[in-house]
Amino acid sequence: MASLIRESGRDSWKLRWHDAQGRRCSIGLGVMPKKSAEQFKNRFEELQGVVRSNTTKPVGLIEWLDGLGDELHGRLAAKGLVTPRAKRSLKAFCDSFQESRRGIAVATSVRDRQVIDVLIEYFGGDRAIDSITAQDAESWRNWLKDHGNKRDSDRAELSDNTVRRRTGVASQIFSKAIKWDLIRKNPFDGLEKSIRENPDRMQYVSWSDVLKLIDVAPNAEWRALLAFLRLTGCRAPSEVHDLRWADLDFADRKITIRSPKTRHLGSRHAVRSCPMFLELVPYLEELADVICPGINVPMSERVFPFVKNGTTNLRTPIERMIRLAGMQQWPKLIQNLRSSRQTELLDSFPVKDVCDWFGNSPAIVAKHYAQSRSEFSERAKNQPTVGFEGSKGGPIRVEKGSKTGLITDPQESTTTPHHLPNPNENQGDSSIVDDACDDCDGSTDRRYWTRTNDLNDVNVQATDKKPCKTQGKRRG
């Protein structure tokens, strides 16, 4: 049991008790109301019981200890009742954080360093990390939006997605502090971190536009690189930097691409195979004729040696070529090349194959890469878009104004039967009767079911035969 003693002539309090060896101990609580001193005494006795029984601290006791000021917490630590608080400055902690992430890609390390620099710029390197509150984190985020752009001299503000991304990195850094028992709560929790789709910064870059850049490119290396970026859609500069001549299989027309970004996810994500597309072959062959791999240089030599590392600036030279070609620069210079190519390939190849070539997933493609193209809107306006398949799999040709039970103009018919005949179907084959329709006998024309409410404003021309009794019922 502990005793609460009011110091004579003062409004301060002292707590006195006997330790496990019977020695009398005391700590000063300082000036506080009697009720607060009594509450402290109750918590203190709870702490004593936990220490003597060597049991786990209850959540309420942990929160009380976390809320104590450094001075009182230090006095309890001096008596051996709690572990001393580790004092870590923001700079020292961030250095330790980067040291713990040696295996990450170079570009990821650079991204971490950028966020660490703006954290230290705002809070100061000597700031104790446990003193940074949720309000401080929100203030930092607002400051970052207005002052965080260190690259573009013509604008100081950062885009919303960049702010979100850097807030997410800051949250990741402070999550490590929780893991290391340096703080209890992450001050960046609750702030917006997820990247939002920004269609205003997505632009389809056609192959003909890239050909204009290739025409003004300074040498074969740059011609091959521009074609490689647009036609393979690889991540640049990281995946370009790791490309070797041995990775180019001209015989089987395959390219092996190594991805530092996704290497940590396992072997399937670290290395992938991509077709050597027909349009790309002449540019790679031109470069091979100049370099002579296997003769003048070993096959292990990098294909684009001027891309010195995963952070090489490709943006500035490409901007220069865009100006020489008299073109308008598009946003997200390299990412839109990747996005345009994946959008283009999805028009002709299965999504699973295209995602395997690009090293991403259908969900990521739908959210960040696939683009809407105006030519498809024009095609949809001027070509039939709804067709039906008969029970034997044969497509029924859509023809405006047809009288054979096919799609017509809305004005040409007001009848909308719920299924259509298949002109290719053997009318005498009673083995293909739809067994879901109990009211139809074997002599029916085995009409093909479709939901009329899916046809929107398009009507279907009625056939000579009457629909069965289940017309209008939704099929289960």
> What single letter denotes the amino acid at residue 431?
S
pLDDT in the model for residue 32: 87
Look at the pTM and tell me if it is higher than 0.85.
no
Tokens, residue 385: 């878009």
Tokens encoding 355:
């995602």
Determine the Cα–Cα distance for residues 240 and 306; give it in Å rounded to an integer.
10
Rounded Cα distance between 30 and 47, Å, is: 19
Peptide bond into 58 cis (omega under 30): no
CA-based torsion, 133, 134, 139, 142: positive or negative: positive
Bridge partners of residue 407, in order along the sequence: 460
Do residues 213 and 322 lie in contact, with contact meaning Cβ atoms separated by under 8 Å? yes
Query: What is the number of alpha carbons within 13 Å of residue 473 lying toward its C-beta?
Result: 11
**What's at 58, amino acid-wise?**
P
DSSP 251-286: TTTEEEEE-TTTGGG-HHHHEEEEE--TTTHHHHHH
pLDDT per residue rounded down to tens, the chain (476 residues): 788 888 776 778 888 888 878 888 888 888 888 888 889 889 988 998 888 888 888 888 888 887 888 788 888 888 888 887 766 789 999 999 998 887 777 778 888 999 999 999 999 999 989 889 999 999 999 999 888 776 666 666 788 888 999 999 999 999 999 888 788 889 999 999 887 777 788 899 999 999 999 999 999 999 999 999 999 999 988 899 889 999 999 999 999 999 888 876 777 778 999 999 999 999 999 999 999 999 999 999 999 999 877 678 899 999 999 999 999 999 989 999 999 999 999 989 999 999 999 988 888 888 888 888 777 778 888 888 776 454 444 544 544 444 444 444 444 444 444 444 444 444 444 444 444 444 444 444 444 444 444 444 444 444 444 445 544 444 44
Identity of the amino acid at 29: L
Q: Which amino acid is at 470?
A: T
Give the separation between CA 95 and CA 98, rounded to whole angstroms.
Answer: 5
Backbone angles phi, psi at 417, to 5 degrees: -65, 160
Q: Where do you find CATH 1.10.443.10 in the chain?
A: 201-374
Q: For residues 272 and 266, is the Cβ–Cβ distance under 8 A? A: no
pLDDT of residue 285: 95
Using CA atoms, how far apart are residues 139 and 123, in angstroms rounded to an integer? 10
CATH class of 201-374: mainly alpha
Paired tokens of 93: 């902690």
Tokens of 403: 């009288």
Q: List every span in the chain annotated with CATH 1.10.150.130.
A: 90-196
Extract long-range pairs of 165-170: CB within 8 Å, 24+ residues apart: 165/193, 165/195, 166/114, 166/115, 166/118, 167/141, 167/191, 167/192, 167/193, 168/193, 168/194, 169/111, 169/112, 169/115, 170/115, 170/119, 170/137, 170/140
In whole angstroms, give the CA distance from residue 186 to residue 178.
7
Question: Per-residue DSSP letters for 421-457?
Answer: --TTS-TT-GGG--TT-TT--TTS--PEE--GGGGTT
Q: Can you read off the two tokens belonging to residue 218?
A: 């300074």
Q: Which long-range contacts (CB under 8 A, 24 or more apart) does 395-398 make?
A: 396/420, 396/422, 396/423, 396/424
Domain 90-196: CATH superfamily is Tyrosine recombinase, N-terminal domain (1.10.150.130)
